Structures are given as C-alpha cells and as structure tokens.
Amino acid sequence: MRIQAFLTAAAINLKRLAASILSILHLIISVTREEGSRSRQPALQSRIAGHEQPGTTGTPIPA
C-alpha cells in the first residue's frame, strides 16, 4: 500500500508539472505573437495609408 501511495503522488506531481509547463508555453507563445503583430502594425498601417515602405514595392532589390 505504501508503494501505491508514492506512485499516486508521483503521478499527481507529474500532471501538475505538465500543466505548469503547458501554461508557461502558452504564455510565451501568446507574448511572441503579440510582439510579432506589433512589429508588423506600422508597415501595415503605412501600406493602408498609401505610403509604401522602402523595399516593399514588389520591385527586386539590386544585388
């Protein structure tokens, strides 16, 4: 019975660990996506306003 209690406690601790890791990964991914959308916003807003940024006109850049 004592071994079963230890195994049950270990299983519960592993579930908690997995839940915390998933929670941290979810937080990292959401922050990364938010930062990515912020960095693209000025470029998108300038395109909407009709002001293309250099190098984004679709013409090839000379080598």
Q: Taking 80 as the threshold, does the pLDDT of residue 45 lie above it? A: no
Q: Does residue 53 sit in helix, strand or coil?
A: coil
What is the rounded distance in angstroms from the CA atom of residue 5 to the CA atom of residue 44? 58
What is the rounded distance in angstroms from the CA atom of residue 25 to the CA atom of residue 12? 20
The reported pLDDT for the residue numbered 1 is: 84
Q: pLDDT digits over 14-42, tens only?
A: 999 999 999 999 999 998 888 777 665 56
Phi-psi region of 58 (alpha: psi -120 to 50; beta: other; left: phi over 0): left
